[in-house]
Every structure is written in C-alpha cells, then in structure tokens.
Amino acid sequence: MMLKSKDLLGIKDLSAEEIINILDTAAVFKDVLARDIKKVPTLRGKTVVNLFFEPSTRTRTSFELAAKRLSTDVVNFSVPASSIAKGETLKDTALTIQALGADFVVIRHGSAGVPHFLSSVLKASVINAGDGSNEHPTQALLDLFTIRSSKENIEGLTVAIIGDVAHSRVAKSNIYGLTKLGAKVRLIGPPTLMPAAINNLPVDIYNSMEEGIRGADVIMTLRIQLERQNRGFFPSLEEYFKLYGLTGDRLKLAKDDAMVMHPGPINRGIEISTDAADGPRSVILEQVTNGLAVRMAVLYLLSGVKE
C-alpha cells in the first residue's frame, strides 16, 4: 500500500493502515542496519535537504544517516549561517532549495504549520521533523515501532505519557498514533501542563503519578522543557520530580514487563531517575536505533508517491 500524500506532516493525517505500512517497512530497514554493509542503493541520485531552524542533534543526525544509508545526497542547511539570517523569506529559501534539485526537505521549525506551508510551495516531499508544539511524526512512528517490537500488538495496550503534554509535539503525535492503533492513552502531569483542548482527545487524564502508571504497559516520559520552567507552570524542578518523576519505586506500580521510553534528551533527576532511565525496562537507546529504520522507511515510501 502506498502513502497517499507526498509529504509527512503529521500523524493526524495518516490512516492506521498507512502507519502499519510504515512500521512494516521499517522492520525491513532495521534488518539492513544490522548487516555489515548498512547501506542500500535504493534512493541513489536523490537529494535530501535538512532545514533545521531549531537546535537538534539526534533528529537531524538520524535523518542525515537514514538518508545516507539509502544512498541519497544530503545537504544540511545551518540556518544561522544561511541567507535566512540576511532576511530572506521562508518561501524564497524553500524555492531556492527546490531550484537546487531537492527531492526531500526535512524541516524543523519553532512555529507550528511551517512544514504545511512549505508542502504547498514545494514539489519536493516535505517531512516534518517537529513544528512548534504541533507534531513530531517520525518520533511517534519510532515510538510505535519500538512498542510493537516488544509488545507485538499495540491494540489494547495502556500507555502512560507523563509530563509537559501541553507543549510537547512528541506527545501529540503519539496520542494520534497510539489511539489510531487501538491503545488506551493516559496523560499524567500537573493541570498546568495538560493541553487546553483536552476534551477533544481520546485520552484519560491523571494528576496523580501513582494512579496514572498503575497497570500501564508502556510509560513514556517527556522532556521537561527547562526553557519554559520559569513561566510558572510548576513551582520548582525539585517539586516536579517529587510529584511526577519516574523512579524505580514508582515503576513497580506498572506491569512487570512495562517499557520505559523517553524521546531524549533526558534530564536526569527531573523527569526520570537514573535507575529508571538505565534500568532493564528502559528502551531509550533502542528508540534511537529504531529512529533510523523508521526514517529510512519514510523516505522510501514517500519516494514512491506519485502525484
């Protein structure tokens, strides 16, 4: 089954079948990554442009490596050193990139909706690598892939997402993806960090960590965005950790085989303790590896969309 759109802008736009197709394809690419020669010639001659307007190490590196594993040429635009810093508009930047022959544009931007705007301007496939607090679709896809690798079936699982859901694009993409595949989603955190349009989401809200993670199959901790900490969403980091930090003791309330996930980078001792982050149930590093396979699958599948 082919993907319907030339772009990957969010999980909200994907059907459950399209998500499954991406996950199945990613499983094949994970096998490629386990070989001695981790590279295939599939997208030889294609060009991927990474356009990151926000700092990123793991996502940009993951996209770059995924593209290289598929034999594409990769160009990384460093925004502070580009013409954007001279006042060029986003549209003009995009059209310049298109004139250079890009087939894929991977974009991260602090404002929600920028990838959607670019997709309307560009013939190239646009992949959203995080737009404001809207979506981060490839992170959710790699999370779904990681869950499916351990649990086989996502339908019926109880997934607890803990932390700053209101500002988290990772959480939103995961909520869309998990519920489309039949998981039950619990959001845990202080009321100030819950999204405003909460009633529109098919989720259960818990303000108590103990109640929220009890019996959960998957526990997904979110990064506390320290840059927002001084805006008064919670009194102090110490209090946040005391109330909502994932510790080894709290983890005992979840199912015995519960998985611990985190999109990274981790703030140890704030959203997660070292024993939980490095414990046997943690799949945090596996998530990073799976991110490569998922991004390879996305590039491959988008390359086949004919519009």
Partner 1 sequence: MPREILNSKDLERAITRIAHEIIERNKGTENLCLVGIQRGGVHLARRLAPQIEAIEGGRIEVGSLDITLYRDDIYSKKNQPVVRKTDITFSITGKKVVLVDDVLFTGRSIRAAMDALIDFGRPANIQLAVLIDRGHRELPIRPDYIGKNMPTHFDDLVEVHLKEENMEDEVILIAKDTEETVNSKQ
Q: Where does this chain bind partner 1 (CB under 8 A)?
A: 1-2, 25, 27-29, 31-32, 35-37, 39-42, 300-301, 303-305
Residues 108, 137 contacting (CB under 8 angstroms): no
CB of 281 vs partner 1, minimal distance in Å: 28
Indicate if 146 belongs to the active site. Answer: no
Cβ-based nearer residue to partner 1, 294 or 301: 301
Cβ-based nearer residue to partner 1, 37 or 196: 37
Indicate if 250 belongs to the active site. Answer: no
Out of 30, 46, 59, 172, the active site residue is 59
Residue among 106, 180, 97 at smallest CA distance from 138 = 106
Out of 46, 69, 108, 167, the active site residue is 108
Out of 58, 116, 184, 255, the active site residue is 58
C-alpha dist (Å) from residue 38 to 30, 51, 70, 204, 250: 10, 25, 9, 42, 39
CB of 210 vs partner 1, minimal distance in Å: 43
Cβ-based nearer residue to partner 1, 31 or 227: 31
Structure tokens at 259: 């998985």
Indicate if 46 belongs to the active site. Answer: no
Indicate if 169 belongs to the active site. Answer: no
Strands, sheet with 73-78, edge to edge from the N-terminal-most edge strand: 73-78, 47-52, 104-109, 125-131
3-state secondary structure of 52: strand
Out of 46, 69, 136, 169, the active site residue is 136
198 membership: H or E segment, kind and range: none
CB of 31 vs partner 1, minimal distance in Å: 6
CB of 1 vs partner 1, minimal distance in Å: 8
Cβ-based nearer residue to partner 1, 138 or 168: 138
Indicate if 228 belongs to the active site. Answer: no
91, 116, 143, 223: CA torsion to nearest 10:
70
Calpha distance 47→206 (Å, rounded): 45
Which residue numbers are catalytic?
A: 58-59, 86, 108, 136
